[in-house]
Amino acid sequence: MRQSYLLSGALALFLASCQLVEFSPNQTYVPVAERNLTSRNLRQLATAGPSLGDTVRFVFVGDTQRFYDETEQFVASVNQQRGIDFVLVAGDISDFGLLREFRWVNQRLQRLRVPYLTVIGNHDVVGNGRAVYQQVYGPLNYSFLYKGTRFVCLDTNGREYGFGRQVPDLAWLRRQLADTAARTVVVSHVPPTDEDFDPALVQGYAATLRACPNLVLHLSGHVHRYTAAQPFHDGITYLTTYSLEKHRYHILTMWGHRQFRLETVVYGAES
Amino acid sequence: MGQKAKWLWLVCALAPGALQAQSSGVAPAGPFFLSLHVAGGTGLVALGGGYRVAHQRLEPELLVGYLPHRLSGGKALAIFTLKATYLPFAPTLGHSRWQVTPVTLGAMVNYTTGRQFFLTNNTAGRYRPGYYWWSSAVRVGALVGLRLSYLDPRPGSAPRFTSLYSELSTNDLHLVSLLTNRSLRLPDVLTLGAGLK
């Protein structure tokens, strides 16, 4: 009897792991090992991070959406880098907001030697994607402290919510930025200069960031290319990064009060 | 000819779980059947039925699937599926009442309820034309399967078939992902479903 339980359990696990049994492409159900990846990866970061000094060095890339081949090449390239603390993916993990896409991306990114963290992109909100993201990664807005740096990751996909003045959550953002002791980085998918950012919240968002004296950078994806500017002429630098299809990623190094260095890495073959 | 032809016809027809089989067994269409389907992207479980046409080689059917909140991550969802299955042949196993269809082919289109899904980019009301090229509510799929049928002889009435089937399917968006990436393989985009008719 017990053997048959074990056998059926093993069969269920096998079927779930090879993704063959799916009740809807929009379902959120995944095996326990593939849930809450944000908190899992943060725990991994807290225990495994090289902890000398206050210098934090991380890979920054955006938009893995349906670029699975490139994601594999990306992982191979990042794994050859030295002294990387973690990888930050600026949203649009998926293209269609389907569960399997998130799993395909995680199957590749979990081969990174360092933990990876994400923010939710507009393509991840589509359909049931928002619920899938919450199941696979966790909260849409979260922040963490690492080597004296506060990383604030939030949902800025205003268009997906019909520009209801709810997203991004400025009250939540203000609370995170109240921790003035730490060097701060804000990460979102849609930059506030984009047409997909809720136009009613652009000025409030920029003002909230301006009020944070320790803000190093604002980081985004969405536009699939590198841009760096101070669009609000307030000394706050807004940076966007490449999508996976561009075969490029950034390495950001931060130290001191607000010092940073930006490197660009080209990898794989552009076909 | 009579008895043999009738048998042959029934073999080809694979009348699945018929509510009421045609008495002659050679009708070009009918009878109705009921379906109970599990997984395969059409809900945890889906119930429905259909009507056999094209000399009982083609089974169009409508399924209503249920995706409970534990699987949908929010409100429970309903999935309405229009599906057509084609049965090229169905040899009998020896002289038994069992028949096997080694290959069935099919196509389906389904609609998932829920406010988070849009029928088209434009009906969503928040995107400019062409922002998203696909519908998040409607999926189109293709499937291949196999089936085992049992003929239940009923003295004085038409024979009745009960079929157990399984099928592997994929949908348009998974297929697009497969076709644009060498590192995805066919098994990555397949979904297993099974049912009774």
* B166 close to A (CB below 8 A): no
- B188 contacts A104? CB cut-off 8 A: yes
Superfamily of chain region A36-266:
Metallo-dependent phosphatases (3.60.21.10)
Structural contact between residues B38 and B193, judged by C-beta atoms closer than 8 angstroms:
yes
**Chain B nearest C-alpha distance from A222 (Å):** 13
Compute the average pLDDT of residues A225-253: 96
Quick one: tokens of B22?
A: 């045609």
Quick one: tokens of A75?
A: 């992982």
Residues A173-202 have pLDDT tens digits of: 999 999 778 899 999 999 999 999 999 999
Inform me whether the pLDDT recorded for A267 exceeds 80.
yes
Identify the contact set of chain A against chain B, taking CB-CB distances under 8 A: 15, 18-29, 66-69, 72, 95-98, 100-101, 104, 108, 126-128, 130-132, 134-135, 159-160, 162-163
Query: Cβ contacts (< 8 Å) between A34 and chain B: which residues?
Result: none
Q: What pLDDT, on a 0 to 100 scale, did the predictor assign at position B30?
A: 64
Q: What pLDDT, on a 0 to 100 scale, did the predictor assign at position B194?
A: 96
Query: Cβ contacts (< 8 Å) between B71 and chain A: which residues?
Result: 23-24, 27-29
Q: How many CB pairs under 8 A join A and B?
A: 111
Report how far residue A208's alpha carbon sits from residue A174's, in angstroms, rounded to the nearest whole number: 6
Domain segments of chain A as ranges: 36-266
Measured between alpha carbons, how far is residue A208 from residues A35, A168, A171, A203, B194 in Å?
Answer: 32, 12, 9, 9, 54
- B191 contacts A21? CB cut-off 8 A: yes
**Which value does ipTM take for this structure?**
0.87
Q: Which helix (H) or strand (E) holds A58?
A: strand A56-61
CA-based nearest residue in chain A for residue B140: A25
- A25 contacts B41? CB cut-off 8 A: yes
CA-based nearest residue in chain B for residue A108: B183
Pairing between strand B32-39 and A227-229? Answer: unpaired
Query: Cβ contacts (< 8 Å) between B180 and chain A: which residues?
Result: 66
Apex B23 CA angle, B18 and B29, nearest 5: 60
- A160 contacts B126? CB cut-off 8 A: yes
- Chain B (5-64) residues lying within 8 Å, Cβ to Cβ, of chain A: 39-44
* Least CB–CB distance from A24: residue in B41, B126, B174: B41
pLDDT, chain A, mean: 92
Residues A17-41 have pLDDT tens digits of: 568 999 999 999 999 999 999 999 9
Inform me whether the pLDDT recorded for B23 exceeds 80.
no
Inform me whether the pLDDT recorded for B21 exceeds 80.
no
- Report which of A32, A39, A30, A254 is spatially closest to residue A142, judged by C-alpha positions: A39
CA-based nearest residue in chain A for residue B43: A23
